[in-house]
Amino acid sequence: MEVERESLRARQLRARDLLRGDLEGRDLEEYVEERLLTTTLENVLNWGRSNALFPMTFGLACCAIEMMSMVTSRYDIARFGAEAFRASPRQADMLILSGRVSVKMAPVVRRVYDQMLEPKWVIAMGACSSSGGMFANYAVVQGADKFMPVDIHVPGCPPRPEALLHGFNKLQRLVRGEPDLGWRERYNAAGTEEWARFESGEPTKEALERAARAVEGIEDA
Amino acid sequence: MPDAPGLELIAQGIEKGRDGTVIETSTEHGRATLIVNPDGVLHALSWLRDTPEQGYRFLSSVHAADYLPATPRFAVHYELLCRERMERLNVKALLADPAAGDESNGAAATEKLPELDSCVALYPTAEYQEREAYDFFGIVFRGHPDLRRILMPEDYVGWPQRRDYPIGGEPVLFTHNEIEAPRWFE
């Protein structure tokens, strides 16, 4: 305890010397080396993103109860920086598909996803949104990845909040590891953007140019 | 529920206005049921609603059922409630399948749908429930103000709760159907 206090005092004095400009030569170099870390901007950006994901407030079925308890103090997704569920897709960058997606709900889910700004990620939570689960019938989509890209599948019926947290940690790794690409690039889906259209149904000139640029970007890379 | 003699009295009362409306009465499973001719549904319902000593003024449910392979194939159930006496009474209209027997016509045969008079004018609550019966069983209610699908997507094709409708989904391999694909894991 006494030793720790001594070393803290020593470090405080050294910091004071630096601020005063009294630190010189080898001492100065040591001081800087201890405190600096070099990396690329991309890494820092992705690290920041992975620790500040904003999920969309979007519950589909019973899995949503587990998703909600993931936010409570017992499981506490705030530890990983994703506790702020946004009520608008414009402010969210993660969509958790918590439950079965019925045939009638699928266009709504897709629309919410399309309204989110890139980069964006999707977790399919539970058996139903991953494969249709027990609902192998006419009314439920057999896996949400039939109509939208999904990054992480979390198995379970429903998965416990710990399982979803594990899936979320995997997603964080994905965000950190992957270079900064939108989902269209990740899924080779360039050129499938929804275009601004005239009333006649023809795409506008700007929309066409933007789509062409996107395709060129992929081909060059 | 009315007891068996009471049910017979009700049947006689309905028959007095119009012969041949009630085909059968039944008190099975603790439910008094009048099985009526589909043409006489409105007559039976309005008699039960408007006769002062009956007073079945509350319609708790309208639903359809498919009894394939029985004939007639479909039935529409009306569950009535008298709130003064807390008595329940079921009215069941049996409907034949107009598309039965002419499979040779192919797609045209499936377009022939069973029809029944709508009781929305008597019981406004029936509007959505008749839409549901139409949505899932393809039973057309004549005189319904707004007969379209209610739960399935509007562009859906087919009547999914019919017994001859494929269940859908994708085949999943369990141990009980493993024989069809032996050593599938290799």
Tens digits of residue pLDDT in A40-96: 888 888 899 999 999 999 999 999 999 999 999 999 999 999 999 999 999 999 999
Residues 156-215, chain A, touching B (beta carbon < 8 A): none
pLDDT number for residue A180: 47
> Could you tell me the pTM of the whole model?
0.72
pLDDT value of residue B45:
93
Q: Which chain B residues have a beta carbon less than 8 Å from that of A140? A: 169
- Answer yes or no: do A139 and B152 touch at CB < 8 A: yes
Contact B45, B17 (CB under 8 A): no
* Nearest-angstrom CA–CA distance, A202 and B186: 51
Number of H helices and E strands in chain B, helices first, is 4, 7
Is the four-CA dihedral A139, A142, A145, A151 of positive or negative sign? Answer: positive
Name the maximum alpha-carbon separation found in chain A.
80
pLDDT tens digits along B11-23: 998 888 788 888 9
B100–chain A Cβ distance below 8 A for any pair: no
- What's the rounded mean pLDDT across residues B32-59? 91
* C-alpha A200 chain-centroid distance: 37
CA distance B139 to B112: 10
Q: Which tokens in the block code for residue A170?
A: 């995997």
CB spacing of A136 vs B166 below 8 angstroms: no
Kindly give, in sequence order, each residue whose CB lies less than 8 Å from that of residue A164, ignoring residues fewer than 6 positions away: A66, A67, A70, A96, A123, A125, A154
Lowest mean pLDDT among A19-23, A76-80, A108-112, A197-201: A197-201
Q: Give A124-165 pLDDT, tens digit per residue.
A: 999 999 988 888 888 899 888 888 889 899 999 999 999 999
- Tokens at B153, concatenated: 């997507």
**How confident is the prediction for chain A on average, in pLDDT?**
85
Q: Which amino acid is at A31?
A: Y
- Give the length of chain B: 186
Report the phi/psi class of residue A173: left, alpha or beta, with left for phi > 0 and alpha for psi in -120 to 50: alpha
- pLDDT tens profile A22-40: 888 888 888 888 888 888 8
Note the pLDDT of residue B5: 87
Separation CA B42–CA B46 (nearest Å): 6
d(CA B117, CA B44): 12
A221-to-A185, A190, A218, B143, B177 alpha-carbon distances in Å: 10, 12, 5, 63, 47
The answer as to whether B143 is a domain residue is yes
> Which positions ≥6 away from A18 have C-beta within 8 Å?
A28, A31
Domain hosting residue B22, numbered range? 4-180
Whether A136 and B152 lie within 8 Å, measured CB to CB: no
Is B139 contained in some domain?
yes
Residue B28 in any domain: the answer is: yes
Report phi then psi at B163, rounded to 5: -70, -20
Top residue of A101, A102, A104, A141 to mutate, by most chain B CBs within 10 Å, is A104
Between residues A32 and B109, which one has the greater pLDDT?
A32
Q: B23: domain CATH number?
A: 3.30.460.80
| Nearest residue on chain B to A103, alpha-carbon basis | B153
User: B45 in a domain, yes or no?
Assistant: yes
Across all residues in chain B, what is the average pLDDT? 86
- pLDDT attached to residue A193: 64
Residue B186 included in any domain: no
Q: Are A136 and A146 in contact (CB under 8 A)?
A: no
CB atoms within 10 A of CB A98: 27
- The torsion defined by the Cα of A202, A203, A205 and A210, in degrees rounded to 10, comes to -160
DSSP string for B133-165: HHHHH--EEET-TT-S-SSS-TT--S-TTSTTS
Please answer whether residues A107 and A148 qualify as being in contact, where contact means their C-beta atoms are separated by less than 8 angstroms.
no
pLDDT, position B184:
58
A94 forms beta bridges with A55, A121
The whole-number average pLDDT for the span B39-43 is 91
Q: pLDDT, tens digit, for every residue of A203-217?
A: 777 777 777 776 666
From B155, which residue of chain A is nearest by alpha-carbon distance? Answer: A104
Residue with tokens 């506490």: A76
Query: Is the CB of residue B76 less than 8 Å from the CB of residue B61?
Result: no
**From A141, which residue of chain B is nearest by alpha-carbon distance?**
B169
How near does any CA of chain B get to the CA of A186, in Å?
27
What residues in A contact B163, CB-CB < 8 Å?
none
User: Over 80: is that where the pLDDT of B175 sits?
Assistant: no
B149 pLDDT band (50/70/90 cuts)? Answer: very high
Residue B185 lies in a domain: no
Are residues A103 and B172, on separate chains, in Cβ contact within 8 Å?
A: no
Number of domains in chain B: 1
Cross-chain residue pair B153–A138, CB shorter than 8 Å = no
Q: Which two tokens stand for residue B146?
A: 């707004």
**Percent of chain A whose pLDDT exceeds 90:** 40
